[in-house]
Amino acid sequence: MTERNSRLAERLALVRPLFAADVALAGADPLAAPPAPLAEEAAGLSPNAVAKRRNEFAAGRDAVHQAMRQLGMPPVPVQVGSDRAPVWPARVVGSITHTKSCAMAVLARKGAVQALGIDVEEDEPLKDELLPAICSDREQAWLKRQDNPGQMAKVIFSAKEAAYKAQYTLSRAFYGFDGMELEFDLAERAYQAFFTADRPPFSRGEAVGGRFAIGAGLIITTAEIRGRG
């Protein structure tokens, strides 16, 4: 196994326990010449996209295709919608994420699983000047009590991204970082993202649950929505 493959395997091993067994998980390395996306997928890229963006996009779609195979499905195009969100096949739900060194995708058959979210970030502290835009006053007060507030601020950023992706599958609602406020169970590496306003079918005070992991140079957050209605 090459060093790059070993690093990716380490990262996937961190994520696997964060999802239930019926969720397929796959990853790819944007720095390792990922396979070209399918033509219908590539059409969603701007013709002016730089090489870094093209590699990250290709790695994300490669991870999606791997996850489809894990579910026993032939790979099919996941195009970019008018809202820039992935357009998933009718019978599945999923989520894609990528950073400069890693791309991941999760996929599940629609049914018990109603929505998924995943976000990966490089394990670097959130810049102090971004705190007011990302974190509520309550979250900032909580950060002051943590041993590594910059790192945990990045976890908040990432968790809000993952929870947003999951809820968007059902609500199609756009909102900013003030649309959710987080509470953490650090012992369980878990969080709850509470809506600060009604986002039908979600009500104010309702929460999307997720988990997080830190390691192998990444901060990784996940979200799952099950059993609504």
Predicted pLDDT at 228: 66
Per-residue pLDDT tens digits for 179-222: 999 999 999 999 999 999 999 999 999 999 999 999 999 999 99
Same domain for 23 and 42: yes
**Residue in 193, 202, 194, 198 with CA at minimum distance from that of residue 223:** 193
Considering the domain architecture, whether residues 34 and 23 belong to the same structural domain is answered as yes
**Contact in structure between 87 and 43 (CB atoms under 8 Å):** no
- Indicate whether 100 and 135 sit together in one domain: no
Range of the domain at 93: 3-116
Last residue of a domain, one of 76, 101, 116: 116
Same domain, 31 and 125: no
**Cβ-contact 34, 41 below 8 angstroms:** no
Which of the pair, 47 or 153, is modelled with greater confidence? 153
Of residues 216, 61, 173, 218, the one with CA closest to residue 208: 173
Task: Tally Cβ neighbours within 10 Å of residue 21.
Answer: 6
Give the end of a domain, one of 58, 82, 116.
116
Domain count for the chain, please give it: 2
Instruction: Judge if 167 and 67 occupy the same domain.
Output: no
What CATH number does the domain containing 201 carry? Answer: 3.90.470.20
Clarify whether residues 129 and 218 are in a common domain. yes
Give me the percent of the chain exceeding a pLDDT of 70: 99
What predicted TM-score, i.e. pTM, was given to this entire model? 0.95
Same domain, 108 and 177: no
Same domain, 137 and 203: yes
Q: DSSP readout, 28-71?
A: E-TTS-PPPPPHHHHTTS-TT--HHHHHHHHHHHHHHHHHHHHT
* pLDDT at position 229: 54
Percent of the chain at pLDDT exceeding 90? 89
